[in-house]
Structure 1
Amino acid sequence: MYDRILVPTDGSEETTCVIAHAAELAEAHGAELHAIYVINSSTFASLPMESSWEGVSDMLEEEGKSALEDARHVAEEYDVSLTTHLLEGPPNKEIVRYAELDGFDLIVMGTHGRGGIDRLLLGSVAERVVRASTVPVLTVRVGGEDDGPDVSATGKAHSSS
C-alpha cells in the first residue's frame, strides 16, 4: 500500500513517537522512509540587523541536523532504512512541495490536537499540510494533557476536488 513514507520532524522529544509510528508503518509495508527537517528562517526575520544572520543560520542548520540524527536513532530500532533531508522555507509549504514532487505515498506528522482559540492563535503546520496536500496525511496526536504513553492516530486523507 505504501512505498514511500515521509515524516517531517521538528526535533522535539514529542516527535519521537511520530517517527516510531512512521518507521513501524514503513517496516510493515516494506516502504522507504524519509525524514525531513524544515528550517523556518522567517521565524528569525525580526532579529535586529546587528545580529549575525550567518550565526543564526548556522545554529538553525545544526538544530536541523541534530533533529535528523535523532530521527535516525529512532528508525534504527526498525527494519527500515532512513534517508534524511534538510530543507528551508515555510514548513507547511515545503512539506507539501517535497511530498508531491518526490512521489510520496504518505506523510506522517505529529499534531498537538489543539482546538478553538489555541489553533487560531498558534496555527497548525499539520492542519495546513492536510488542507494543501494531495498526498494522504496521517496525523499522530502528541503532547496532549490527557495523553499518556499511548498515542492515538487519525488518518487524514485530503484530495483535490
Structure 2
Amino acid sequence: MYETILFPTDGSDAADTALAHAVDHARQYGATLHVLFVAQDDFGPSGLVQQDHEGVERSEMVGEDHETQSSGMTNEDPERLGAVAERGEAIVSEVAESVGDNVAVETAVRRGTPYERILDYADEEGADMVVMGTHGRTGVDRYLLGSVTEKIVRTADAPVLTVRRDGA
C-alpha cells in the first residue's frame, strides 16, 4: 500500500513524536522512509520582529547594522541560512541513525519555504504518505504563526498523518 513515506522534520518535540508513527508505518509496509528538513530561506518580511545574530529581538527595518540586507523586502541572510542548513543535516542524520536497520531511510535537506519544499519533495519522490508532527497551537497563535502542517494537509496529493505533540 505504501512504498514511500515522507517524514518532514524540524527537530522539534512534535516531530519526534511523529517519528515513531512514520517508522511504524514504514516497517509495516516495507516502505522507504524519506526524512526531510527544510531550511527556510526567508526569515520574514522586514519591519516585523526579528532576532539579530546575538539572539536579541528587534523590530527595526532591514539595513540596520545587525542585519544583512538582501534584495526585495526580505531578511535573507546567507550566513544564517547556512547554519540552519547545517543544523538540518545534523537533524536528518540523527533521525536516520535512530531508525535502525529494519527500515530503508533516505535523507534530504532543502532550502526554501517549508510547505512549498515539502510538497515539491513529496511530488518528486512520489510519496504515498506524509507523516508530520503538529505543535497543537490554537486560536491567535495558530492564526498569526500559520501552520506548515495545516498547509500540507490542505494541499498535499498524498494522505497526511498528523501527530500531535505529547502533552500539547
TM-score range, shorter-chain basis? 0.7 to 0.9
The structural deviation recorded for 1:52 is: 10
Identity of aligned residues (%): 38
Distance in 2 (alpha carbons) for counterparts of 1:106 and 1:136: 5
Instruction: Decide which of 122, 139, 144 is 1:99's aligned counterpart.
Output: 122
Q: Is the 8 A contact 1:5 1:31 kept in 2?
A: yes
Distance in 2 (alpha carbons) for counterparts of 1:119 and 1:44: 17
Distance in 1 (alpha carbons) for counterparts of 2:19 and 2:103: 12
Range with bigger deviation, 14-23 or 79-88: 14-23
Deviating 4+ runs (over 6 angstroms): none
The unaligned stretches of length 5 or more in structure 2 are: 47-51, 53-66, 70-74
The structural deviation recorded for 1:45 is: 6.7
Distance in 2 (alpha carbons) for counterparts of 1:15 and 1:70: 13
2:136 equivalent in structure 1: 113
Distance in 2 (alpha carbons) for counterparts of 1:120 and 1:103: 31
1:83 equivalent in structure 2: 106
Distance in 1 (alpha carbons) for counterparts of 2:79 and 2:5: 33
Distance 1:68 1:45, change over 3 A: farther
1:156 equivalent in structure 2: none
Q: Is the 8 A contact 2:15 2:134 kept in 1?
A: no
The structural deviation recorded for 1:44 is: 6.4
Q: Is the 8 A contact 2:129 2:159 kept in 1?
A: yes
The unaligned stretches of length 5 or more in structure 1 are: 146-161
- Alignment RMSD, CA only? 2.2
For normalisation by structure 2, the TM-score amounts to 0.77
For normalisation by structure 1, the TM-score amounts to 0.80
Report how many residues are paired.
Answer: 144
1:49 equivalent in structure 2: 68
Higher RCO (C-alpha 8 Å, min separation 6)? 2
